[in-house]
Amino acid sequence: MLALAAGASAAVPLAAPSAAASGAVVGGARLASDGVQADGGAALPRKLTARAWLLADQDSGEVLACYRAHQRLAPASTLKMLFADTLLGRFERTARHTVTDADLAGIPSGSSLVGVRAGVAYSVEQLWQGVFLRSGNDAVQVLARMNGGVARTVAEMQAKAADLQALDTRVVSPDGYDHPGQLSSAYDLALFARHGLKNPDFRAYCGTGAARFPAGGGRTFAIENTDRLLSGTYGVTPYPGLIGVKNGYTSQAGNTFAGAATRAGRTLVVTVLHPASGHNSVYEETAALLDWGFAQGGSAKAVGMLVDALSEGGARVSSSGAPHAGARASSAGGGPGGWGVLGGAGAVVALAAGGAYAVRRRRGREASAPER
């Protein structure tokens, strides 16, 4: 029994207009604008090809620059930040769980895996390392099952998104895998990252470069963080002061990234979604935006704000909540492993009913590092 903790790209992404564009805009009206938003300071980096991006100050929440901040796009594994925001602290780090075949049933084919095996006992800490370092959908599934099931976890994630006022986000699966209607935005992902970085466990996990993972029979194997700005792999230079956070890749989403770095006592949060080219572009554009932000000091004026969570005293921002493509609740309900579709702005509707849900197989795989 687990003890509760005390207080406990070439591909075309899914996209849809944000609800923010048709009502009050979370974070400020300029964040719904289509063009680049920046005031003061030097010119922004050239060759920014991402379909959406945002740069903000971690402490103040000021958005320093952005492009299509509320554009709804497929998030890939960056959605795991919301999974961590929702479940971190639910179980003690040292608690152990012996994985069963049922725990691993229904993981979508083609998922990124850390190598969780049935019959092996894992600590909660090891499972979270599998989530953050290797983006393991198997580790996500086990933690979700421990939490009472995938459908329940999806519902809790949607509720967490509503509390964080991440109104562009629709959760279908807890791992960020490609599913129709699973969407987020550069703005919402920045909210997830900013909130998570206030949690020491989140901060420690996302900044871990390497760890040992159980292989069964008392053996372990090495796992390394797939964040190339942290690990310095595949020709990417490690970024000075990088805290980490989360990268992702799917054929629907292309490359996605949410990161944070500290320099001279200042921490910046950045999100970059779907650069036009693959390979290392998402890391290069992230580094360029961070360099620009740190170079500005106080000269760049805020163009918006990352709002505070309602549970932390944040002022509620209303939105029209107009339905968007792919966000309506599916009558089919659950899918493999109990995935459910949630729709409606601020709504928390878990569809746990049976029925097959067609999982989109990935049409491509990034040859150097198939991060999903």
User: Catalytic residues, which ones?
Assistant: 77, 80, 135
- Give the burial class of 91: count Cβ atoms within 10 A of its Cβ; 0-12 exposed, 13-18 middle, 19 or more buried: buried
Distance between CA 129 and CA 114 in Å, rounded?
A: 9
Please tell me the distance from the alpha carbon of residue 173 to that of residue 361, in angstroms, as a whole number.
15
Distance (Å, whole) CA 247 – CA 176? 11
